[in-house]
Amino acid sequence: MKFVPLLLVFWLIGFSAVTQAERPFVVIHQQGDNQCHTFRIPAIAMTNDGTLLAVYDMRYRSRRDLQGHMDIGLSRSTDGGKSWESPRPIMDMGAFGGLPEDQNGCSDPNILVDKETGEIVVSAVWTHGKPGTHQWRGRGSEPGLKLSQSSQFMMVRSNDDGKSWSEPENWTAKLKDPAWYLFAPAPGSGITLENGTLVMPTQGRDENGMYFSNLMWSKDHGKSWTLSNWARSDTTECAVAQLADGSLMLNMRDNRNRSDKSETNGRAVSVTTDLGASWKVHASDHGSLPEPVCMASLISHKLDDGRTVLFFSNPRNKSKRKNMTVQMSLDDGNTWSKKLLLDEDGGAYSSLVMVDDQTLGILYESSRADLVFQTIQLGEFGL
Summarize pLDDT for 228-263 with one digit per residue, the tens.
Answer: 999 999 999 999 999 999 999 999 999 999 999 999
Task: Give CA–CA dist 380/50, Å, rounded.
Answer: 23
Written as one string, the DSSP assignment of 157-201 is: EESSTTSS-PPPEE-HHHH--TTSSEEEEPSEE-EE-TTS-EEEE
Cβ–Cβ contacts within 10 Å for residue 104, how many? Answer: 23
- Least-confidence region, from 21-30, 40-49, 365-374: 21-30
Query: Is position 237 annotated as part of the catalytic site?
Result: yes
Q: How confident is the model at residue 17 (pLDDT cuts 50, 70, 90)?
A: low
Q: Say what the alpha-carbon torsion angle 31, 33, 36, 41 is, to the nearest 10 degrees.
A: -50
Report pLDDT for 19.
Answer: 78
Task: Give CA–CA dist 333/243, Å, rounded.
Answer: 9
Q: What does the pLDDT average to over 82-99?
A: 98
Tell me the average pLDDT of the chain: 94
78 pLDDT higher than 70: yes
Catalytic residue among 85, 119, 142, 237: 237
pTM for this predicted structure? 0.94
Q: Say what the alpha-carbon torsion angle 299, 295, 63, 112 is, to the nearest 10 degrees.
A: 40
Q: What does the pLDDT average to over 196-218?
A: 98
Positive or negative, the CA dihedral 23, 29, 32, 37 is: negative
Q: What does the pLDDT average to over 77-90?
A: 97
Q: What does the pLDDT average to over 274-282?
A: 98
Task: Give CA–CA dist 330/298, Å, rounded.
Answer: 13
Q: How confident is the model at residue 1 (pLDDT cuts 50, 70, 90)?
A: very low
Please tell me the number of Cα atoms within 13 Å of 59 on its side-chain side: 22
Q: What does the pLDDT average to over 28-39?
A: 94
5 pLDDT higher than 60: no
Phi/psi zone of residue 145: left (φ > 0), alpha (ψ -120 to 50 degrees), beta? alpha
Q: What does the pLDDT average to over 140-157?
A: 98
State the DSSP H helix or E strand holding residue 57, giving kind and residue range, or none if neither: strand 52-59
Q: What is the pLDDT of residues 284-319, one digit of tens each?
A: 999 999 999 999 999 999 999 999 999 999 999 999
The residue among 233, 13, 63, 41 whose CA lies nearest residue 124 is 41
Q: What is the pLDDT of residues 320-333, one digit of tens each?
A: 999 999 999 999 99
Q: Which residues of 179-205 are buried (b: 16+ CB within 10 A; e: fewer)?
A: ebbbbbbbbbbbbbbeeebbbbbbbbb
Report pLDDT for 22.
Answer: 79
Task: Give CA–CA dist 42/155, Å, rounded.
Answer: 16
Residues 6+ apart with CB under 8 A from 126: 91, 93, 104, 105, 106, 151, 152, 154, 168, 170
10 pLDDT higher than 50: no
11 pLDDT higher than 50: no
Phi/psi of residue 223, each to 5°? -75, -35
Q: Which domains does the chain show, CATH number per domain?
A: 3-381 (2.120.10.10)
Q: How confident is the model at residue 57 (pLDDT cuts 50, 70, 90)?
A: very high
Q: How confident is the model at residue 14 (pLDDT cuts 50, 70, 90)?
A: very low
Task: Give CA–CA dist 295/291, Å, rounded.
Answer: 9
Q: What does the pLDDT average to over 160-187?
A: 98
Written as one string, the DSSP assignment of 215-278 is: EEEESSTTSS-EEPPPSEESEEEEEEEE-TTS-EEEEEEEGGGGT--STT-S-EEEEESSTTSS
Beta bridge partners of 310: 300, 329
Strand 38-46 to 52-59 pairing: antiparallel
